Amino acid sequence: MGSKQSAICENKVESDAIPRKWYDDQLIKRDENVYFDVEGWYEILRNETFPTEFIPISQSMTQAFVNYYQTRYSSTKMLNSNDIELIQSMENQLKQRISNNEIFIRLSSRSPKDGKPLDPQKISQIYRQKFEELKIKNPDEYLTNEGKANMQMIAFCYAQNHALKVTNEIEALNLLLSSERVYYDLNEVLDCEQMKDNKTKVN
């Protein structure tokens, strides 16, 4: 999934006091590292990983995602009717592919692991169930501080991973649209496109 807008990023860079040259260098690195995205290695490793389907994301769709995030979390009214239509079209595409199966959704680069599940209690419930399971299986380990802390970490990682499983298009879209990681990555891709356009115009 990907694309971005330079005006948004320029404001972000200025407000965070990040040197423009440093950010431009980061964009160049991002552009060069596309071979590490899922599309770059999936065909080579497809027999060793999960079956995967790809949904191409246009630049306008990417901008719609960015505008949604800014409107929802930054009180900046960027979202318009065209953005809403584009997001609804993504919802329909996800619905066709998920069909009530358990799936894991991600961008080419990263997953929305910081996204907010529709059920805020889901991760806590999974954590408690896994922790109780570990206590029963390893009662002696639970009696030590180190053992208990290890169980807590295992249960937390398990809960975090399983909370990212979605079974419908609404859950999937909600994770994507509420993730700051997704917002940042899409914003970065849009800036990469803008940088390429600027180079083309100069040349």
Query: pLDDT of 25-59, one tens digit each?
Result: 766 776 677 778 888 889 999 999 989 999 999 99
| Spans of the chain below 70 pLDDT | 1-20, 22-24, 26-27, 30-31, 195-203
What is the C-alpha to C-alpha distance for residues 86 and 9, in angstroms, rounded to an integer?
22
- For residue 10, what pLDDT is reported? 35
Name the β-bridge partners of 166: 103
CA distances from 159 to 105, 150, 165 (A): 16, 14, 10
